[in-house]
Chains A and B, each alone.
Chain A
Amino acid sequence: GQNIDQPTEMTATEGAIVQINCTYQTSGFNGLFWYQQHAGEAPTFLSYNVLDGLEEKGRFSSFLSRSKGYSYLLLKELQMKDSASYLCAVLNTGGFKTIFGAGTRLFVKA
């Protein structure tokens, strides 16, 4: 079976740091993606991890632990425009299929 869990909602303050966690159980694994989706818009790619460890890209970082089935997305120096849904997604082996979690809605307040 396949299961991807992430918190439904989070609230953080402008300028702060927030960590969005994701745990997964999938029948195959070929990497983990994070996508950002603003209300009414299409998802856009943020990061990809296939090996354990931290990948940093500007204000955003993503971490993966394959043995624990765990990832997190770290957002630093939060801005109001970061208010969006953040989707954790797992790429299955073989079929090139990406399975998405339900997403975490992040609200950034002043």
Chain B
Amino acid sequence: DTGVSQDPRHKITKRGQNVTFRCDPISEHNRLYWYRQTLGQGPEFLTYFQNEAQLEKSRLLSDRFSAERPKGSFSTLEIQRTEQGDSAMYLCASASGQATGELFFGEGSRLTVL
């Protein structure tokens, strides 16, 4: 399967713990996005990478959230000191270099903070 893959698919953690999600995009895609989605809502933009450069980060994102894409391939999203409000589906998407390229989403990582 050459689609976008995310790991883990599900994560249950206690409030205050740190969690990390990984995303492997489609290999030839140089653009990578992280979104967060809660029930009944559309995906909310978190951050965007072009190759290894993080070009935009949502102003809604607190300092507890950090994302990296060290070699321009896979990416990680870390949430420090998790809060119950962080419970959501974290979606990764990749796209080709075309400015109008569609997003290809992974299956998501569902986070539950107890």
Contacts and interface: CB of A to CB of B under 8 A. Distances in A.
A102 B42 contact: yes
B100 A98 contact: no
Would you call the interface of chain B mostly helix, strand, loop, or mixed?
strand
B63 interface: no
B107 interface: yes
Contact of A103 (B42, B95, B102): B42
A44 B48 CA distance: 19
Given A42-B91, A96-B50, A48 B45 contact: no
Contacts of A97: 45, 48, 56
A97 B103 CA distance: 10
Contacts of B106: 42
- Scoring B43, B55, B100, B108 by chain A CB atoms within 10 A of each residue's CB, the highest score goes to B43
A97 B35 CA distance: 11
Given A42-B106, A42-B108, A95 B55 contact: yes
B108 A100 contact: no
B2 interface: no
Interface of A: 4, 30-31, 33, 35, 41-45, 48, 50, 87, 89, 91, 95-103
